[in-house]
Structure 1
């Protein structure tokens, strides 16, 4: 199916957020709001899955969260899970207000860290009708308390910014790992090379983010989900035990799809994983609006 794209902007907390709306040739079945991995932008995994959903007859939005990419907001490169969940809520409001999408159900797809963020957004927002998590990371604060040293590092960085205006950052990825946000070789091979380092992406992570991310709990949202949920994951992706315990805690209608990935990052750009994940999501989303 032919897909077209148009810019889509909206606001939250006074900041303009920049997105891309993917549209199928025919009237869309429903509207998918997507969110992606840590530090990512709309041209990366979120956009890949938005395009895949549009090829399956859905309108789909990929957008830069506040403080990232083309969106406004400060401090730049701040990874704030609850803030990102609020961004999703603002996106839903804007999608529902768009005349092209009038009356269309809104459904949700989150990739990697975005799976955990989306879980919170969906649990808190009754307007979202279904949720698919792809290689989602679902932290469980009850099972693993945050490292106090990491939380303290984030707190100090936040206090420094508030008192001096200086934003402390570290790289998101680096060839030799070191003091980075994502110390995974496969993460560098994506974000640190032409494979995934699109012009809109900044390889940086505000250290203050640790104050927000270290204690983030996605598991508490599992039992609060009331809409159908699809878990797509792999035993070679990040923390499959957390995915399994999250799935077990979901009490709404649910289904799971386990694929054979190399690791985590190939879920971002390998059609061998993207196509079946998108097919399964399309089947779920179609079932709630058909």
Structure 2
């Protein structure tokens, strides 16, 4: 367990790129089939063998003067080094409740998860926002690949780390998952009984959307075509000795895109939320990333979170709202679904006037006792 003290208080503003974050349809079965995975060219692997940590404040949100911040690193069960930001309330005494925060899918800790973590630290919790394996500052080769199993493990590894801190009460650890990591958080809470309470904010079930498409629209024939293309791509990757990458999410907005695609662009590809290490900010996943999601429904055991509480938070107008509603129906009591009036999916990434931090605080204060 390594700690790296923060030394810079400056907030960096990235240049606004003339690129667009392509919607997650690119990762679903129907769109992969339409793209022709085997025909797409390779992209840069963004290779990062040594772990190199940025010591400057390069978040997409301002640094709080109410918390102490440290850059930390630790290993997950597979030996991959994860890099995270640890936030602690100033002047805290004794053992405290703690929260691990992850997401969105394709984002880094300098974005939404860091904002959630810092804000909850201001409210009295020790918090940890981490980069998932193979992304951001965390280790893992090749770069920008994902697995539902390893992503779930990353949450448990964060719980490992928090439980080793001398000022954390091991019986009072919760987790927050945002967007695609909302599903990972639910899966982690089901399997890891050390997690005492879980929040899924603006949740995606990544295994569902990759295997079935949005609104479960992928046909069996499309699924078979996608799996055939992904399977053949494995031979191409093996021959090359490196994975091919999907096209970078950097196409310009031309008009006519679905509103949620424009919402993603407004977050990931402008100074609002752009970060050069984020997959969704002009980078790309490996072409075969969907393979491990296609046969792996991560919410199969969601009812086993009970009797520990789960809170779902989603925007009324979010295109992804059905993920939370379905998961809520499958979960056992105690559970709660909070719908934010008028909010779209990405409003819950960083709109502090929309994210119900008072509700989050009350939820964890009540259940991490």
Q: CA deviation at 1:262?
A: 4.2
Q: Report the equivalent of 2:147.
A: 80
Larger radius of gyration: 2
Q: CA deviation at 1:99?
A: 2.1
Q: Report the equivalent of 2:365.
A: 286
CA shift in 2, pair 1:88/1:253, >3 Å? same
Q: CA deviation at 1:289?
A: 2.5
Q: Does 1:174 align with 2:255?
A: no
Write the distance in 2 (CA, Å) between the matches of 1:103 and 1:168.
42
Residues 19, 42 of structure 1: 8 Å contact kept: yes
Residues 152, 211 of structure 1: 8 Å contact kept: no
Deviates more, 1:261-270 or 1:40-49: 261-270
Instruction: Output the aligned Cα RMSD.
Output: 2.4
Q: CA deviation at 1:58?
A: 0.5
CA shift in 2, pair 1:267/1:11, >3 Å? same
CA shift in 2, pair 1:166/1:110, >3 Å? same
Please give the secondary structure, in 2, of the residue aligned with 1:189: helix
- What are the equivalent positions in structure 2 for 1:1-290 lying under 5 Å apart? 2-12=66-76, 13-25=78-90, 26-27=92-93, 29-103=96-170, 105-138=172-205, 140=208, 144=216, 147-170=223-246, 171-172=248-249, 174-176=251-253, 184-202=261-279, 203-226=283-306, 227-274=308-355, 276=356, 278-290=357-369
Q: CA deviation at 1:164?
A: 2.9
Unaligned stretches of 5+ residues in structure 1? 178-182
Please give the secondary structure, in 2, of the residue aligned with 1:219: coil
CA shift in 2, pair 1:117/1:221, >3 Å? same
Superposition misfits of 4+ residues, deviation over 6 angstroms:
none
Deviates more, 1:28-37 or 1:17-26: 28-37
Write the distance in 2 (CA, Å) between the matches of 1:73 and 1:211.
18
CA shift in 2, pair 1:41/1:20, >3 Å? same
Please give the secondary structure, in 2, of the residue aligned with 1:220: coil
| Structure with bigger RCO (C-alpha 8 Å, 6+ apart) | 2
Residues 35, 109 of structure 1: 8 Å contact kept: yes
Unaligned stretches of 5+ residues in structure 2? 1-64, 255-259
Q: CA deviation at 1:56?
A: 1.1
Write the distance in 1 (CA, Å) between the matches of 2:234 and 2:169.
41
Write the distance in 1 (CA, Å) between the matches of 2:174 and 2:310.
10
Q: CA deviation at 1:24?
A: 0.9
Question: TM-score w.r.t. structure 2 length?
Answer: 0.71
Please give the secondary structure, in 2, of the residue aligned with 1:273: coil
Write the distance in 2 (CA, Å) between the matches of 1:218 and 1:238.
20
